[in-house]
Amino acid sequence: MSHLVAPSLLSANFLNLEKDIAMLNQSEADWLHLDVMDGMFVPNISFGFSIIETIRKATDKPLDVHLMIEEPERYLERFRKAGADIISIHMEASKDPVSALRAIKKLNAKAGIVINPATPVDVLSDVIREADMVLLMSVNPGFGGQSFIQQTFQKIITLKTMITNLDLQVLIEVDGGVDLHNAAPLIKSGVDILVAGNTIFSSENPHQTIHQLKSIR
């Protein structure tokens, strides 16, 4: 599978979301990455169900919903109903990630498990079998536009080894500080999905930047 690009709407223009989504619809973006923050798990609050429902009506592309919320198990069904196709929960935020991942799959969505930069890959060993995707945070979650944490590369190698040893088909997504310089080495190390917010939406030509991120081989 060639890699996917998932623009993060956190950096989009919320005053004119329709325009940005129309651009994404015409672009080579594979998924739309939506960051939900509760002001508890992370020191920021973003958006919730109604924005996701609105975005759902404006695009046919899969919605990749990244939940940065405490006890995400409380809201899985509502995010699915709002239009999420992929639902990712943080290992650090869930009391029972195995059950939560199973619940997501029961809702006919893809299930992702996320770890913060400070959380070692080893903690995934008991849950990875339940996941369709692992999301490695390459910045501390909460804000767009931060710089990429280089140690993420080591974690990708460790994660790749774990996936191979267990003979699984789990996808690897990286989120935070992805730019046109680190995208190529990330893909080379085995990343399947690149999330990018600032790099896309702060560029002069977001459509072209998505094309550039997609063209990396």
- List contacts with ligand DX5 (CB under 6 A): 8, 10-11, 33, 35, 66, 139, 141-146, 175-178, 195-199
- In what helix (H) or strand (E) does residue 213 lie, and over which residues does it extend? helix 206-215
Pick between residue 55 and residue 106 the one whose CB is nearest to ligand DX5: 55
Smallest separation, CB 11 to ligand DX5 (Å): 5
CA distance 108 to 171: 17
Ramachandran angles phi, psi of 3, nearest 5°: -70, 160
Select which of 20, 30, 35, 132 is catalytic.
35
Q: What are phi and psi of 128, to 5 degrees?
A: -60, -30
Residue with tokens 């960051």: 35
Q: Which is nearer to ligand DX5, 168 or 211 (CB)?
A: 211
DSSP letters of 154-168?
A: HHHHHHHHHHHHTT-
Cβ atoms of 127 and 113 closer than 8 Å: yes
User: What, of ligand DX5, Zn ion, none, does residue 139 touch, CB below 5 to 8 Å by kind?
Assistant: ligand DX5
- Restricting to residues 41-100, which ones interact with Zn ion according to CB under 5 A? 66
Active site residue 175: yes
From the candidates 38, 64, 132, 175, give the one annotated as an active-site residue: 175
Q: Which does 198 bind (CB under 5 to 8 A by kind): ligand DX5, Zn ion, none?
A: ligand DX5
Residues 6+ apart with CB under 8 A from 16: none
Q: What are phi and psi of 44, to 5 degrees?
A: -160, 155
Closest approach of ligand DX5 to the CB of residue 5, in Å: 11
Which is closer to ligand DX5, CB of 3 or CB of 33? Answer: 33
CB of 161 to Zn ion, least distance (A): 24
Q: Is 136 exposed, middle or buried (0-12, 13-18, 19+ CB in 10 A)?
A: buried
| CA–CA separation, 128 and 134 (whole Å) | 8
Mask 147-186, x = binds Zn ion (CB under 5 A)?
----------------------------x-----------
Query: Which residues are known to be catalytic?
Result: 35, 175
Residues that bind Zn ion (CB under 5 A): 35, 66, 175
